[in-house]
Structure 1
Amino acid sequence: MEAVQLARRHGLNLSGRRPGVGEYLRRLWDRRAFIVTFARAKVTASYASATLGSFWTVITPLVNAGVYYLIFGVLLGTDHGVTNFIAYLCTGVFVFHFTQQVAMAGTRSIADNLNLVRALHFPRASLPLALTLVQLQQLLAALAVLAAIVLVTGERLTWSWLLVVPVVALQTLFNAGLAMILARLAARTTDLKQLMPFVLRTWLYGSGVFYSLDNFIDDAPGPLAVLLNWNPMVAYIDLMRYALIESLPDARMPGHLWLSALVWALVAGLGGFLFFWQAEEEYGRE
């Protein structure tokens, strides 16, 4: 008891004690150089053993888009009612791939870095945030290829392309929050990373990546139609499509898309941060 009182008198705190939200944010800002450097190292290490190196950043979503075009555009004919289906499909694939990769990386962010977590004292949110930054860097490279695809398929470069910036910013905030939520859940439930591919595949099919949701929402039951309309990925994918693809009529763009994208970014970003911060003392101690 005397030791405890002595420690308090001299301002000593419990080792690993969770700081307040404001202090935690300050510490994260102080570690910004670490976050950026860690992200760069991850990008370099990811493709170090691959012959094509970082080109796989672009090749992977392109191959996925090709497979989906063959199955859904050619064999199943889900391109009905969609002008410029190739650009429409590639945009959906690239945007969804960003969130998909962040979700998988967030799930592994604590488990794959346990030695670092146990050896050094730093804000643990640095890890899912760094991995979100990794995928953002890869998205920016992929967007250059997507822009070329859109132009080659007959679209024009217009002022609406500037809307790509706020769309990416909102999706990145959403992804960062999602990564932190999944990082905390996976730190407690290690089987989550085995379940995530099935969850993400279901999310993919319900996000209108390779078909127009307009063809299905009108006939969907009420609760399902609401769920599809307010699916965050539908908002980010469709906003990107309307920004890049001029042949999509603006009149068909639902008016709630920007509101949905903003609300999901704030809810996931802020909520995910607070959810992760609450368990700061537990990471690496299980």
Structure 2
Amino acid sequence: MASTAVANPDAELTQAELAARYGLSVAGERPSLGAYIRQLWSYRHFISAYANAKLVASFSTARLGRLWQVLNPLTNAAVYFVIFGVVLGTSGQVDNFIAYLCTGLFVFTFTQSVVSGGVTAITGNLGLIRALHFPRASLPIAITLTQFQHLLASIVVLAGIVLVTGEPLTLEWLLLVPAVLLQAIFNAGMAMGMARLGSKVTDLKQLVPFVMRTWMYGSGVLYSVENFEAHLPGWAADLVQLNPLLVYIELMRHALMESAPVTASQTQSWLLGIGWALVAGVLGFIYFWRGEKEYGRG
């Protein structure tokens, strides 16, 4: 009795054709940019929960708990006021130096904390990355969200300081909302960019404190920005105006204070603030996404 051969329809297909037929993909393959954005959106609850957990954990061992969200910015402001305002005498350069200093310091601290946390977003969470599958951009975004909550507490304190020191409550205070959101987008882009760099160059976290300290001195946080024009060549003073942190600080000072010295008009500051948010946010996200399949390996 002759045997009947059963034809295998897959026998002559290549691996690529088989994968396409059965919807298979390479393990660990980087998703398309659109698919990656959709993944992040689907993990939004995880990002929020992770950020809240980090916030609670940061004060879990402190006796005063989350009250330190208020005490930390107040303590920093007091120290810098004594050093720069009293000892070095810079308070005489600015009307309402206390409000001027606190605004610059709180805005700068937001970016400083996000950048510092972003550097270790990957290297500090290797166990989580290797154990679970999720879009890795969730980590630097969660860091930004955690520090954003710190900033909101600082803004409540800042509002009280500004009012107590004699600034009026005006409709321009509403501009705080878009200013903070633009800075948050800028910070998220910076966090993602630094997260990928930090995963490649682990010693980067040792350099970041020095870079951020230099950035602070170049952002007019502790003294009048009029010093830039007085002590720098014209081209350098113009270049300083492009400093993104100076831009976001001045947007906040425009909103909260009536007569704070600034380097640019409101229109120019808003255009620069929007531009920096788009550039850092988009480029930082794309740069991080391109390294998605590298994180946690090795």
Q: TM-score, length-normalised on structure 1?
A: 0.95
Which of 136, 154, 164 is matched with 2:148 structurally?
136
1:102-123 per-position Cα deviation (integer Å, ceiling 9, x unaligned): 0111111111111111111111
The answer for the alignment partner of 1:89 in structure 2 is 101
Paired with 2:72 and 2:239, the residues of 1 have a C-alpha distance of: 29
Identity of aligned residues (%): 57
Which of 219, 237, 243 is matched with 1:207 structurally?
219
The answer for the alignment partner of 1:19 in structure 2 is 31
User: Unaligned 5+ residue runs, structure 2?
Assistant: 1-12
Q: CA deviation at 1:25?
A: 0.3
Contact 2:141 2:191 in 1 (8 A): yes
Contact 1:110 1:187 in 2 (8 A): yes
Contact 2:224 2:261 in 1 (8 A): no
1:134-162 per-position Cα deviation (integer Å, ceiling 9, x unaligned): 00011101110110011111111110100
Paired with 2:59 and 2:87, the residues of 1 have a C-alpha distance of: 33
Q: 1:252 to 1:12 in 2, by over 3 A?
A: closer
User: Unaligned 5+ residue runs, structure 1?
Assistant: none
Match for 1:105: what amino acid? G
Contact 1:242 1:253 in 2 (8 A): no
The answer for the alignment partner of 2:288 in structure 1 is 276
1:213-241 per-position Cα deviation (integer Å, ceiling 9, x unaligned): 12222441244223311000111111101
Aligned counterparts, 1:94-113, within 5 A: 94-113=106-125
Which of 35, 40, 63 is matched with 2:52 structurally?
40
Q: 1:38 to 1:200 in 2, by over 3 A?
A: same
The answer for the alignment partner of 2:177 in structure 1 is 165
Bigger CA radius of gyration: 2
Which of 181, 188, 191 is matched with 2:200 structurally?
188
The answer for the alignment partner of 1:53 in structure 2 is 65
1:242-265 per-position Cα deviation (integer Å, ceiling 9, x unaligned): 101124379974642111111110
Paired with 1:239 and 1:206, the residues of 2 have a C-alpha distance of: 16
Paired with 2:149 and 2:22, the residues of 1 have a C-alpha distance of: 45
Contact 1:217 1:228 in 2 (8 A): no
Alpha-carbon RMSD: 1.7
Aligned counterparts, 1:172-183, within 5 A: 172-183=184-195
- The farther-off stretch of 56-65 and 144-153 is 56-65
Match for 1:150: what amino acid? V
1:248 correspondence with 2:242: no
Paired with 2:150 and 2:74, the residues of 1 have a C-alpha distance of: 13
Contact 2:254 2:266 in 1 (8 A): no
Contact 2:241 2:264 in 1 (8 A): no
Paired with 1:259 and 1:151, the residues of 2 have a C-alpha distance of: 28
Q: Secondary structure at the match of 2:26?
A: coil
